[in-house]
Structure 1
Amino acid sequence: MRLHGNALRLTVVVGESDTWHHRPLYSEIVHRAHAAGLAGASVFRGIEGFGASSVVHTSRLLSLSEDLPVSVVIVDTEERVRAFVPALDELVDEGLVLLDEVEVVRYTGRGGEPGDAA
């Protein structure tokens, strides 16, 4: 798959302890993105944050470190990302879903050719 130029970035911010059928929610999102044939997905664990509940979660306090923020970031063409977004309606009860336009400058796998599988 070649990915270059204008694209759409989907960011889903959920809690680390959020689950879908006894599986981490972030993992379910990544596996569904993979099954949908999207260009890629990455998960980033936050060290501190708060959301709509206004409760600050931080890795510095053991009592509050159980539900740190986790972001799943997916980048692909606008058409493919927008087609994937409805799948999140079923998965994300609490969290934040963002879409923003980005420009892909380089998308290269280990094979060295643009779009090669990593």
Structure 2
Amino acid sequence: MDIPEQARILRIFIGESDKSDGRPLYEAIVLKAREMHLAGATVLRGAIGFGHSSRLHTMNMLRLSDDLPLVVEIVDGEAAIDAFLPLLDQLMTGGLVTVETVEVRRYGPSKQD
């Protein structure tokens, strides 16, 4: 699979406790991206954050949150990201979604493989 040099990055900001049909939302997003044959997806867990509600979510031991902030990042071509957005809307009820243009410098196995 190739990604065009000028691609898009889709960032989805959600909470760890967010669900879609009983499954963790981040998992549902990654599995849907894989099903759609997108180039790849990564879930990043934040140590601290807040969103629309301004409620602080932290991994501080004294205030251990069960809803840490997560960011799902997906990079692919413009057409693939645009085709994925309506499906993402069906999975999500809240959160923040951003799309940016990026330059892909390398994608694929290392030269040693």
TM-score by length of 1: 0.89
State the secondary structure of the residue aligned to 1:9. Answer: strand
Give the aligned residue type for 2:40. G
Contact 1:4 1:105 in 2 (8 A): no
Deviations 1:83-107 (CA, angstroms, capped at 9, x unpaired): 1001111111110000000000000
Structure 1 pair 13–112 and aligned structure 2 pair: CA distance change class (3 A): farther
Aligned-residue RMSD, C-alpha: 1.6
Deviations 1:13-36 (CA, angstroms, capped at 9, x unpaired): 100011112211000000000000
Counterpart check, 1:8 vs 2:16 = no
Counterpart check, 1:71 vs 2:71 = yes
Match of 1:91 in 2: 91
2 CA distance for matches of 1:4 and 1:27? 26
Indicate the percent of aligned positions where both proteins have the same amino acid: 47
After TM superposition, the structure 1 stretch with the greater mean CA deviation from structure 2, 84-93 or 73-82, is 84-93
- Written as runs of structure 1 = structure 2, the 5 A alignment for 1:49-68 is 49-68=49-68
Contact 1:10 1:97 in 2 (8 A): yes
Match of 2:25 in 1: 25
State the secondary structure of the residue aligned to 1:67. Answer: coil
The alignment of Structure 1 onto Structure 2 pairs a total of residues equal to 113
Structure 2: give runs of 5+ residues left out of the alignment.
Answer: none
Match of 1:116 in 2: none
2 CA distance for matches of 1:112 and 1:44? 27
Query: In the TM superposition, what is the alpha-carbon distance from 1:63 to its structure 2 partner?
Result: 3.7
Structure 1: give runs of 5+ residues left out of the alignment.
Answer: 114-118
Contact 1:4 1:106 in 2 (8 A): no
Runs of 4+ in structure 1 deviating by more than 3 angstroms, as ranges, are 61-64, 110-113
